[in-house]
């Protein structure tokens, strides 16, 4: 497990109360070994969830005057969903800083629910330790680029649509394979192909595996529609 101070340096945070950040990265299972109670991320998660919703909504509102209420809600939901927040947590390697108890036996990098919770608790800790302006600056740093480039099409689940289309004709499922992975851990770029029965149906690119898979599925559906 890495020292939480390393992560704070990435975000250029000089902590006033380091224990808040330690708590934000402590899984409830740690309490059993430490013989403590509520010394984990759950209360901070509650606070951080509200802070995130507010500021992401504000940023979306200002960045996209062309979107109506429903589309603004979709935009916010796509970013602060479990998938969205767990991917942001992986981008900054949050799994490397989480304290767990001896009974914990999951692989943290794949534990979406835990990564989502820790991301929210981290935001809660920043708010309490640094104040409203500082936490807003962090949220802008993490989310603003994705808010700006948001396209309503991003909310379409092309992978599910492709799977349904394939399974309406065959029993087998498609698979996704990474062709290329480049960039540092905080700024990855993936090229992924979707394959069925040894045949490449489509290729997609994106800043996350999920995004690249969706783009590969979209291309496959487009080719299928042209036939």
Two structure tokens written together for 220: 């496959």
Task: Taking the CA atoms of 206, 207, 209 and 211 in sequence, report the sign of the dihedral they define.
Answer: negative
> What 3-state class would DSSP assign to 37?
coil
Structure tokens at 18: 């380091």
Residue 226 is a catalytic residue: no
Element (H, E) at 176: strand 175-182
Report helix, strand or coil for 182.
strand
Q: Is 120 noted as a catalytic residue in this protein? A: yes
In tens digits, what is the pLDDT along the chain, a chain of 227 residues? Answer: 899 999 999 999 999 999 999 999 999 999 877 777 778 999 999 999 999 999 999 999 999 998 899 889 989 998 999 989 999 999 999 999 999 988 888 899 989 999 999 999 999 999 999 999 999 999 999 999 999 988 776 667 899 999 999 888 887 889 999 999 998 877 789 999 999 989 999 999 988 888 899 999 999 999 887 76
Residue with the two structure tokens 């951080």: 48
Separation of alpha carbons 140 and 159, rounded Å: 29
Across the beta sheet with 175-182, the strand order is 175-182, 189-196, 199-206
The tokens describing 110, both together, are 């794949």
Catalytic one of 45, 49, 116, 213:
49
pTM here? 0.72
Return all residues near 15 (Cβ < 8 A) that are at least 6 apart: 5, 8, 21, 129
**Catalytic residue, candidates 23, 120, 146, 219:** 120
| Full DSSP string of 19-59 | HHHHHHTB-TTHHHHHT-SS-SSHHHHHHHHHHHHHHHHHH
């Amino acid at each position: 497990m890495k020292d939480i101070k390393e992560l704070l340096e990435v975000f250029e945070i000089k902590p006033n109360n380091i224990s808040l950040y330690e708590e934000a990265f402590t899984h409830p299972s740690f309490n059993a070994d430490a013989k403590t109670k509520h010394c984990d991320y759950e209360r901070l998660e509650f606070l951080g969830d509200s802070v995130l919703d507010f500021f992401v909504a504000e940023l979306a509102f200002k960045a996209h005057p062309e979107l109506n209420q429903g589309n603004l809600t979709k935009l916010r939901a796509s970013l602060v969903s479990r998938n969205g927040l767990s991917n942001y947590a992986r981008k900054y390697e949050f799994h490397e800083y989480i304290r767990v108890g001896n009974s914990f036996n999951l692989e943290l990098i794949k534990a979406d629910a835990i990564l989502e919770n820790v991301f929210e608790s981290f935001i809660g800790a920043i708010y309490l330790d640094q104040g409203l302006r500082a936490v807003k600056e962090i949220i802008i740093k993490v989310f603003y680029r994705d808010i700006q480039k948001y396209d309503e099409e991003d909310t379409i689940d092309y992978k599910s649509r492709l799977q349904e289309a394939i399974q309406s004709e065959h029993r087998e499922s498609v698979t996704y394979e990474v062709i290329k992975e480049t960039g540092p851990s905080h700024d990855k770029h993936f090229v992924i192909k979707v394959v069925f029965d040894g045949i490449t149906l489509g290729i997609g690119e994106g800043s996350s595996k999920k995004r690249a898979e969706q783009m590969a599925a979209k291309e496959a559906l487009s080719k299928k529609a042209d036939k």
